[in-house]
Chains A and B, each alone.
Chain A
Amino acid sequence: QSALTQPASVSGSPGQSITISCTGTSSDVGGYNYVSWYQKHPGKAPKLMIYDVSNRPSGVSNRFSGSKSGNTASLTISGLQAEDEADYYCSSYTSSSTLDWVFGGGTKLTVL
């Protein structure tokens, strides 16, 4: 069982917007602004899309945005495009005594 909870799948049509949630605890998502989101296509390495809750690395489309409220972080993708179809993982720094970083179980985004 992953430490952060994400929906297993979401879907949307081209041009639409979708939001993926990521729920943790006060020891991780709620306690730090070190939430990040990664896009992973099959057979490829993960790609950083959002860091520190809401910041986009250089080169990432502004269609991707992040936010956080309490123990839940969210990734929103607007103007869906076919190439957005991928798995998305959230991650957070944690004060857990057993590990420093936790990931969500991943969300499969399907562009219809």
Chain B
Amino acid sequence: QVQLVQSGAEVKKAGASVKVSCKASGYTFTGYFMHWVRQAPGQGLEWMTWINPNSGDRNHAQNFQGRVTMTRDTSISTVYMELSRLRSDDTAIYYCARAMAGRPYDAFDIWGQGTMVTVSS
């Protein structure tokens, strides 16, 4: 079945970087945009970044300018989200989410299970 499986929980020091992976299966990896969305404790959802796995084109929210990098490895159907210069307010659950058709503005129909990233000072 179609699914996204993310890497496990991370604990990082402030100022460090974290790299979270998201492995896709059950569909043509290069046919669907992939996004990352996070949810801080007690807060709502926040969109971060997307990538076109086919072309490698990507974009991100200006809030994360210079700190977020999204990459992909088509040979293993996996996308990665790296967030650098971590701060305590980056503590959150990070989700990868597939756009439901081949367009960046499509809704997110398949979600990973989430990866908890905890940033300690």
Closest A residue, CB atoms, query B113: A45
The reply on B80 being an interface residue by CB < 8 A is no
Number of interface residues of B (CB under 8 A): 24
**Cβ–Cβ contact B107 & A52, under 8 A:** yes
Render A69-112 as a binary contact track against B, CB cut-off 8 A, 1 for contact.
00000000000000000000101010001111111111000000
Tell me, rounded to whole Å, the shortest Cβ–Cβ distance linking B114 to chain A: 6
Tell me, rounded to whole Å, the shortest Cβ–Cβ distance linking A44 to chain B: 8
Q: From the candidates B45, B63, B108, B111, name the one contacting A98 in the complex (CB within 8 A).
A: B63
Interface size bracket, A side: 20 to 34
Closest B residue, CB atoms, query A102: B47
Q: From the candidates B47, B97, B111, B114, name the one contacting A100 in the complex (CB within 8 A).
A: B47
**Residues of B with Cβ closer than 8 Å to A?**
35, 37, 44-47, 50, 59, 61-63, 95, 97, 100, 104-109, 111-114
